[in-house]
Amino acid sequence: MEAEDDPHALWPEHLVRLARTLDGAGAREKREILGQFWGILHVALLRYARAHARRMGRLSPEDVRDVVSEKASDLIARLDLKEWDPGAATPALLRSFLSTTARNGVVDALRSGRREVLVGDDLEPRGGRGIESATQEDAVSVDEFVRALVGCLDVLSARARRAWFLRVFYELSSAEIARHPDVASSPAGVDAMLARCRDHVRTCMESKGLGSHDLPPGTFVRLWELTERDRAGLGVGS
Amino acid sequence: MSAHVSEDRLIDLAAGLLSGPESEPALAHLRACPACEETFRGVCRDLERTRLRAAPSRQRVALIGTVAALAAAVLAAAVVVPLWRSSRAVDPRAYWIPIETEPVDLRAAPPAADDALFVQATEAYRRHDARKVVELLAGRAIPEAQDPVRLLYASALLKTGDAAGTLQALEPLRIPSLPQPYRDRAKWVQLGALHALSRDDEATALAAELAARSGEFADAARRLARTP
């Protein structure tokens, strides 16, 4: 279902456009373009590699990531050296090329005897896990929960909120969060910041008669929208 | 419930390519569909992690306020980037990390004198002169921007017989956080040091880990794991 290409997807065209702007860009601008290109290229390759891995064999999520990491690094290096010119391709051709690249990586990995393990969560297609869709009642309670949580998070600084979000939803380590440009701190500083956040959120949610241990489905996307606003407030582009 | 949001659309959304009105239908679906929300969370997480790897030195620029201007100016220097090549060596102490010189932007702005030192150390390593590498780098602070050189230093220490120093030099690298192929290379050097220090249980566990994975050292680690 989701492995099929969405004809309305914007990212392939965006990558083509980014590649075209590389020519004539200054060193600083070039770095920014390559940074943007790299991020989208990576998630696009992951999307294809997972789809191929689901069909062809059983690679661990870690091995799929390694395959993609190698392929993405290689492509970025070739783009930087002008050995690969996605700017000359159509979005459809680019997609096809990336899918083939991911497929080749997966095939090579399977041939070279990469470890076969149980398929991880992130290799499973959606809809096959028996997760029930949220009912209207659920939606109401999630809305209440999120409103309460947002109220509690609101008193934190945008930076602290971002650090909390990166830990709770993306499970980034303190070192990674410290390195994040929205946070820019030391790992110890992040640990202290997160400890304060956790204490505050727990106390605040308890004062509203709610726990903060299990975040109900729907919480992530609602908070993601808010943090995107925070990011815009911090002046961080995507 | 409406049809699931395509993964392509989730990438668009996570990358900020959709305008407000364009994103609303997708967001409305995500709010009501835990499976799609979970996939979206994965896409966002992958994107964040990738961005962190793409711009690791931004944070350092922010931290080093006094050198911010210098950092923004970007120093071009020749440092070493070890490239992926397969190795048939079974003894980690005999392994030389492959080296290729590439111009790399140094945004963390280490002092110029140290840049030259790191280049010299790299050249010494390229000549397989481990003693010279150790002589040049012993007691020197090696900034995070020069992590590839730190790995060479650790390897050189192992070759000169300082296994304890090797482990010490590797520690700031936070090996599990390194991207491939650096992660496995660092583990291979670490394995050699553990073996030299007769920390056999740890060495065996590390060999088993490398043997179970694909990659540069899989075969060698498997052979090593079979060696009594």
User: Could you read off the pLDDT of B20-35 as tens digits, one per residue?
Assistant: 888 899 999 998 899 9
Say yes or no for a CB contact (<8 Å) between B214 and A173: no
Report whether the peptide linkage leading into residue B228 is cis, meaning its omega lies within 30 degrees of zero. no
- Could you tell me if B17 and B8 are in contact, meaning their C-beta atoms sit under 8 angstroms apart? no
Contact A180 B48 (CB under 8 A): yes
Model confidence at B111, in pLDDT bands (50, 70, 90)?
very low
- For residue A209, the distance in angstroms to the closest alpha carbon of chain B comes to 23
Question: What is the DSSP-derived secondary structure letter of residue B103?
Answer: E
Burial profile A16-38: b = 16 or more Cβ within 10 angstroms, e = fewer: bebbeebeeeeeeeebebbebbb
Q: Does B98 touch chain A (CB under 8 A)?
A: no
Confidence of residue A233 (pLDDT cuts 50, 70, 90): low
Whether B219 has its CB under 8 Å from any CB of chain A: the answer is: no
DSSP state, residue B100: E
Lowest mean pLDDT: which of A46-50, A129-133, A160-164? A129-133
Quote the CA–CA distance of A223 and B149 in Å, as a whole number: 41
Burial class (CB in 10 A: 0-12, 13-18, 19+), B24: exposed
Under an 8 A CB cutoff, do B177 and A173 touch?
A: yes
- In terms of C-beta density within 10 A (0-12 exposed, 13-18 middle, 19 or more buried), how is residue A215 classed? middle
Contacts with A3 from chain B: Cβ below 8 Å: 7
Residue with tokens 């590699």: A49
Contact state of B9 with A8 under an 8 Å Cβ cutoff? yes
A with B: how many residue pairs have Cβ under 8 Å apart?
169
pTM higher than 0.95, yes or no?
no
Whole-number pLDDT of residue B179: 66
Give the closest-approach CA distance of B115 to chain A in angstroms: 21
**Number of neighbours of residue A74 by Cβ within 10 angstroms:** 15
Distance in angstroms (rounded) separating the CA atoms of residues B157 and B80: 18
Q: What is the pLDDT of residues A31-62, one digit of tens each?
A: 888 888 999 999 999 999 999 998 887 788 88
Q: Which residue has the tokens 């096809």?
A: A96
pLDDT for res B71: 34
Q: Which residue of B has its CA nearest to A182?
A: B59
Distance, CA of B156 to CA of A196 (rounded, Å): 43
List Cα–Cα distances, B3 to A78, A127, A134, A176, B30, in angstroms: 38, 11, 14, 35, 11
Q: How many percent of chain A have pLDDT more than 70?
A: 82
Distance CA A213, CA A195 (A): 15
Which pLDDT value is given to residue B65? 34
| Per-window interface: B 113-172 vs A, CB < 8 A | none
- DSSP SS3 for B223: helix
Is B87 within 8 Å of B95 (Cβ atoms)?
A: yes
- Alpha carbons B186 and A7: distance in angstroms, whole number: 43
Alpha carbon of B161: minimum distance to chain A alpha carbons (Å): 31
Report, as an integer, the average pLDDT of A56-78. 86
| Per-residue pLDDT reduced to its tens digit, A87-126 | 999 999 999 999 999 999 998 888 876 544 444 444 444 5
Instruction: State the residue for tokens 């030391």.
Output: A186
Query: Measured between alpha carbons, how far is residue B153 from residues A94, B2, B19, B131, B146 in Å?
Result: 41, 57, 49, 10, 11
**Chain A contact for B179, CB < 8 A?**
yes
In the predicted model, what is the mean pLDDT of chain B?
Answer: 74
